[in-house]
């Protein structure tokens, strides 16, 4: 099983171009951090986490044994003065979040690609940012050692 933790504002449509012969599960909605999935039903587990998904996976999957763990553009702490996004910067992002500005920053000169990407509405994304902020700053631990970063 390939376990994927997307970053903030991720949606399954962002990954639809990827194909795999293995089973894949995507965690992407960070308004709720309850994992209700039987990972033990699979013999081999692989983990790929992106951005804030690295922080979430670090906390929620610490008890699981992975054959390989890959972290992309994220840290175990997610929000931290030295090992993540500085809390003040994250808080300002949360307070001033605008979906269109986020898309411009994410896609830059390739913004036309965003037309095929589905995003939750701006209000829901702000809630997700709030939840990530609270989650990342509560009980900070570096649990996972990543094979590739």
Q: Parse the chain into domains and list their residue ranges.
A: 2-137
pLDDT at 121 over 90: yes
> What is the value of pTM for the model shown?
0.92
pLDDT at 143: 84
pLDDT band of residue 106 (cuts 50, 70, 90) is confident
**Residue located via tokens 């994220």:** 74
Residues 125-142 have pLDDT tens digits of 999 999 999 999 998 888
- Token reading at 106: 């994410």
pLDDT of 36 above 80: yes
Distance CA 135, CA 43 (A): 30
The residues that bridge with 2 in the sheet, in sequence order, are 24, 46
CB 137 within 8 A of CB 88: no
| H/E run at residue 2 | strand 2-5
Task: Look at residue 139 in the predicted model and tell me its pLDDT.
Answer: 83
Residue 57 belongs to what H/E stretch? helix 52-60
Residues 101 and 82: their CA atoms lie apart, in Å, by 26
Q: List, for residues 47-104, the tens digit of each pLDDT value.
A: 999 999 999 999 999 999 999 999 999 999 999 999 999 999 999 999 999 999 998 8
DSSP 8-state code for residue 14: G
For residues 6-15, give the mean pLDDT: 92
Helix (H, G, I), strand (E, B) or coil at 64: coil
CB neighbours of 129 closer than 8 A, spacing ≥ 6? Answer: 8, 90, 93, 94, 97
């Amino acid at each position: 099983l390939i376990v994927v933790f997307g970053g903030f504002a991720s949606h399954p449509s962002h990954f639809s171009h990827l194909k795999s012969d293995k089973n894949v599960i995507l965690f992407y909605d960070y308004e709720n951090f309850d994992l209700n999935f039987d990972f033990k039903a699979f013999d081999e587990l692989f983990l790929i986490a992106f951005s804030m998904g690295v922080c979430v996976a670090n906390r929620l999957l610490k008890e699981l044994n992975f054959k390989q763990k890959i972290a992309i553009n994220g840290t175990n702490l997610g929000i931290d003065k030295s090992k993540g996004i500085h809390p003040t910067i994250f808080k300002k992002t949360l307070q001033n979040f605008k979906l269109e500005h986020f898309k411009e920053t994410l896609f830059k000169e390739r913004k036309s690609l965003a037309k095929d990407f589905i995003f939750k509405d701006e209000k829901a994304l702000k809630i997700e940012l709030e939840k990530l902020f609270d989650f990342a700053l509560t009980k900070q631990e570096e649990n996972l050692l990543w094979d590739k970063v």
